[in-house]
Amino acid sequence: MDFDEPNLNEIMRKAITLLAFTFLFYSIQGCTQENDQSEGLTGPFAISGSNLLYNNEVVSYKGVNAMQSFGLTDPNLMEEWNIKIVREFIGNLREQPIDGIPILGSDGIWYHPTQEIVNQNRLYNIVTIICPFGWVFENGQQTLFTGLNPSEQNFYGEYKTKMKQIAEHFKDQPDVWIEVWNEPYHWNNENNYTHDLWLTDMSDMVNNLREVIDFKNIILVPGNEQGQSEASVLAKGELLLNSNFNILFDIHAYEKWLIDKTESQITSRLNTLKNENFPFIIGEVGVQNVGDIMPVQSFLNAVKSTNSTTLAWLWNKNSR
C-alpha cells in the first residue's frame, strides 16, 4: 500500500544532511561502565542519581531522531550504525495511532502506529522515545510545540488525555520512554517565561503520566529556551526529582552549545549537570538549525569524554 510522504520542510525547521549525520557518528561511541548499582523502581532501565542504568549497569548510548510515524526506516542501517536509542517524532499527537493500522490524518498524511515502530526497534534492541512535536486540529492545521508554553495552549487538556492513553498502552514495555513535550518556551525566555513556570508545567505533565497505574517507564523532561538551556534544570530540577522517579532531562545542542564554544566550555556545562546529580541526555544535536552550518567537533569531543548519551538530528530517510 502506498502512503503520502510528508513535506519535511513544512513540518520541521531543522534539517541535516546525510553527510553531517555521518560526520557526527564518526566521532561518537557508545560505552558501558560497571561501577554502580540501581535503586530504581523499575527495570531493566532505571535512573539512579545522574546515571542511566540497564540491568543495574551504568550505560550511555548513541542514537538518532527519526520520523518513522511517516513510514518505517530500514532497520539494518540502524544496526550497522550501532544505534541503541531512537527518539520518534510525533507531529500529529491528536491523531497518532497507538496500535493497529496506519491512518490518514486530517492533514492528509498517513501515520503509522507507535506500537509498530516500537516492535521494529525492539527487534534490534533499540530503545524508543515517544516525543510529541505537534498537534493537528480537525481542520488539518498543525501547531508545532517548539517555543510554546505548554499549559497555555487551548489543546492542553486534550494533550494530557492522549499522553495518558500512550502511557497506559506502553506501561508494561520498559524499553519505551515518553518525553512530555518537544522544545518548550521561548528561545530567549520571553513570553512570560520563568523557571517556576517550567517547574509547574513539567510537574503537571509528569504527574499526568504517573497517574496511570503501574506506569514506571522513564519520562523525559526538556530544558527551557526551546530545549537548549539547562538553566531550568539547575534551578528547579531538584524539586522535580524530589517528588518523582525515573526522570531523565533532555537538552538540545544547537546555536547555544555550538557557536563560539570551546570543548572545555562544553565539557564544563555537561559536568556541572553530572556533578549536581542531574540525569540527562543530549536529545538533539545537528550541524544546522535556523542559520548557517555550525561546527560540532568540540561538542562531539565533549560528549565522548563525558560519556553523555547523544542523539543526532536526523536519521536519513530510507523508508519502506
Domains of the chain listed by start with CATH number: 8-312 (3.20.20.80)
pLDDT of residue 4: 41
- 108 to 3, 70, 95, 152, 291: CA distances (angstroms): 10, 12, 12, 27, 30
What's the CA gap between 179 and 311, in Å, rounded? 14
Q: What is the dihedral of CA 280, 92, 45, 239, to 10 degrees?
A: 50
- Say if strands 85-90 and 62-66 run parallel, antiparallel, or are unpaired: parallel
Extract the C-alpha cell encoding 116: 509498530
pLDDT of residue 133: 98
pLDDT tens string, the chain, 320 residues long: the values are 433 444 444 444 444 333 344 444 444 444 433 333 334 455 799 999 999 999 999 999 999 999 999 999 999 999 999 999 999 999 999 999 999 999 999 999 999 999 999 999 999 999 999 999 999 999 999 999 999 999 999 999 999 999 999 999 999 999 999 999 999 999 999 999 999 999 999 999 999 999 999 999 999 999 999 999 999 999 999 999 999 999 999 999 999 999 999 999 999 999 999 999 999 999 999 998 988 899 999 999 999 999 999 999 999 765 44
Look-up: residue for cell 523499575? 42
pLDDT of residue 84: 97
Look-up: residue for cell 517556576? 196
Q: Which amino acid is at 9?
A: N
Q: Rounded to 5 degrees, what angle do the CA atoms 177, 173, 236 make?
A: 30
**Burial track 198-222 (b if 16+ CB lie within 10 A, e otherwise):** bbebbbebbebbbebeebbbbbbbb
pLDDT of residue 211: 98
What's the CA gap between 161 and 159, in Å, rounded? 5
Among residues 275, 223, 306, the alpha carbon closest in space to that of 49 is found at: 275
pLDDT of residue 188: 97
Question: Cβ-count burial of 243 within 10 angstroms (0-12 exposed, 13-18 middle, 19+ buried)?
Answer: exposed
Q: Residue 55 — left, alpha, or beta (φ > 0 → left; ψ -120 to 50 → alpha)?
A: left
pLDDT of residue 305: 98
